[in-house]
């Protein structure tokens, strides 16, 4: 009798399912049964597992079952699951195993009750901030922003907006901010974000992660008035930006977006002799992107260069004698 038949003979009871999670092999068999099961069987399994979802979701094997189950269940069944899980979603979304099935629940949510249950868990300031900075939790936050309609997340948006300035300089936080901007149409929120960018432009531009936000805004707002403001800020600060590593990435992207006439206009605002004297590798790279060839001066002096052959001769002679 195969292990699959053994599991089926157990009648897919809670005990049988929990027992199958003890090792990866039986978990894979259970996954295959789930993917081939009829809707009546899925409903039976969902009912059997009531009260155990959080434990299963945080299990190294169980999370795979939850991921598959949450993907194939219908709205009524998702609501039943969320009614059990919603108080602790924000705590579990940052955990290694539970994060993935929670993302599936959020992504597949499709009605107001599901939205409310999910958002209820993400209403505490400190926990939302922590989740937004976490490598696993940030995916859950991004899914909320993308898949829950904006009209249902007014309170969430207000809370998230309050720490955008901090998240913009965090490795995973900036991804949440970029997603938030992409899926926000509220004019008041956009205005707040724009004012924040204007007040902190160079601080963001030279930051290891903040520069990604400026690049995103250049592309996202390219054809709207807000984009014109970002472009003007880049032009006003171009000389300073091209001298720094992270802000120079913004300069490169900006140049790609310019027409030939706009490039010429930008070049006319720059002092080429001054840039050459600075001997800054980032600036030289940006000028090359603009079509201005400025060679990087060699920091090695002529005397040192002339001594290199002698050094190699002495070295080779030493190694030859040593090997004899």
Residues 242-278 pLDDT 10s: 999 999 999 999 999 999 999 999 999 998 888 888 8
Q: State the Cα–Cα distance between residues 184 and 234, nearest whole angstrom.
A: 23
Question: For residues 289 and 324, which has the higher predicted lDDT (pLDDT)?
Answer: 289
Q: How much is the average pLDDT of 178-191? A: 95
| Percent of the chain topping pLDDT 90 | 76
| Contact criterion met (CB below 8 Å) for 215 and 250 | yes
Distances (CA, A) of 322 to 315, 316, 317, 318: 11, 10, 9, 6
Q: What is the DSSP string of 54-92?
A: HHHHTSTTHHHHHHHHHHH--HHHHHHHHHHHGGGHHHH
Q: Tell me how many degrees the CA angle 178-176-108 measures, rounded to the nearest 5.
A: 110
The domain spans of the chain are 197-324
3-state helix, strand, coil in the chain (%, to 5): 75, 0, 25
Q: Which CATH architecture has domain 197-324?
A: Alpha Horseshoe (1.25)
Q: What is the DSSP string of 79-146?
A: HHHHHHHGGGHHHHTTSTTTHHHHHHHHHH--SHHHHHHHHHHT--HHHHHHHHHSTTHHHHHHHHHH
Residue 295 has pLDDT above 80, yes or no: no
Residue 112 has pLDDT above 90, yes or no: yes
The pLDDT of residue 296: 54
The pLDDT of residue 151: 96
Residue 180 has pLDDT above 60, yes or no: yes
Q: How much is the average pLDDT of 99-119? A: 98
Residue 279 has pLDDT above 90, yes or no: no
Q: State the Cα–Cα distance between residues 114 and 103, nearest whole angstrom.
A: 13
Average per-residue pLDDT in the chain?
Answer: 88
The pLDDT of residue 298: 46
Q: How much is the average pLDDT of 33-59? A: 93
Residue 281, classed as helix, strand or coil, is helix
Question: For residues 16 and 235, which has the higher predicted lDDT (pLDDT)?
Answer: 235
Q: How much is the average pLDDT of 148-172? A: 97
The pLDDT of residue 309: 40
| Contact criterion met (CB below 8 Å) for 150 and 157 | yes
Q: State the Cα–Cα distance between residues 25 and 3, nearest whole angstrom.
A: 9
| Contact criterion met (CB below 8 Å) for 297 and 287 | no
Q: How much is the average pLDDT of 215-227? A: 94
The pLDDT of residue 315: 39
What would the two tokens of residue 124 be? 């505490």
Q: How far is CA 160 from the centre of its chain?
A: 16
pLDDT band at 11 (very low <50, low <70, confident <90, very high): low
Residue 1 has pLDDT above 50, yes or no: no
Q: How much is the average pLDDT of 101-112? A: 98
Residue 4 has pLDDT above 90, yes or no: no
pTM of structure: 0.84
The pLDDT of residue 275: 85
């Amino acid at each position: 009798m195969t292990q699959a038949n053994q599991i089926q003979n157990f009648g897919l009871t809670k005990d049988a399912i929990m027992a199958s999670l003890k090792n990866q092999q039986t978990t894979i068999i259970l996954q295959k049964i789930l993917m081939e099961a009829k809707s009546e069987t899925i409903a039976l399994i969902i009912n059997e597992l009531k009260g155990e979802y959080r434990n299963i979701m945080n299990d190294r094997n169980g999370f795979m079952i939850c991921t598959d189950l949450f993907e194939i269940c219908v709205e009524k069944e998702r609501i039943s699951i969320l009614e059990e899980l919603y108080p602790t979603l924000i705590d579990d979304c940052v955990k290694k195993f539970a994060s993935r099935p929670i993302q599936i629940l959020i992504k597949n949510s499709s009605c107001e009750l599901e939205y409310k249950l999910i958002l209820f868990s993400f209403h505490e300031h400190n926990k939302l901030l922590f989740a937004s900075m976490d490598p696993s939790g940030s995916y859950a936050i991004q899914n909320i922003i993308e898949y829950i309609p904006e009209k249902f997340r007014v309170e969430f948006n207000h809370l998230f907006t309050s720490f955008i300035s901090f998240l913009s300089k965090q490795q995973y936080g900036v991804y949440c901010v970029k997603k938030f901007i992409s899926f926000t149409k509220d004019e008041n929120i956009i205005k707040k974000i724009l004012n924040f960018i204007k007040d902190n432009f160079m601080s963001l531009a030279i930051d290891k992660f903040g520069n990604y936000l400026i690049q995103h805004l250049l592309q996202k707002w390219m054809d709207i008035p807000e984009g014109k403001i970002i472009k003007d800020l880049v032009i006003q600060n171009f000389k300073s930006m091209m001298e720094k590593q992270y802000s120079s990435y913004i300069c490169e992207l900006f140049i790609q977006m310019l027409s030939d006439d706009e490039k010429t206009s930008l070049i006319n605002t720059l002092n080429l002799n001054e840039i050459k004297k600075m001997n800054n590798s980032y600036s030289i790279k940006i000028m090359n992107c603009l079509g201005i060839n400025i060679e990087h001066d060699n920091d090695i002096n002529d005397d040192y260069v002339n001594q290199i052959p002698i050094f190699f001769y002495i070295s080779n002679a030493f190694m030859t004698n040593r090997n004899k």
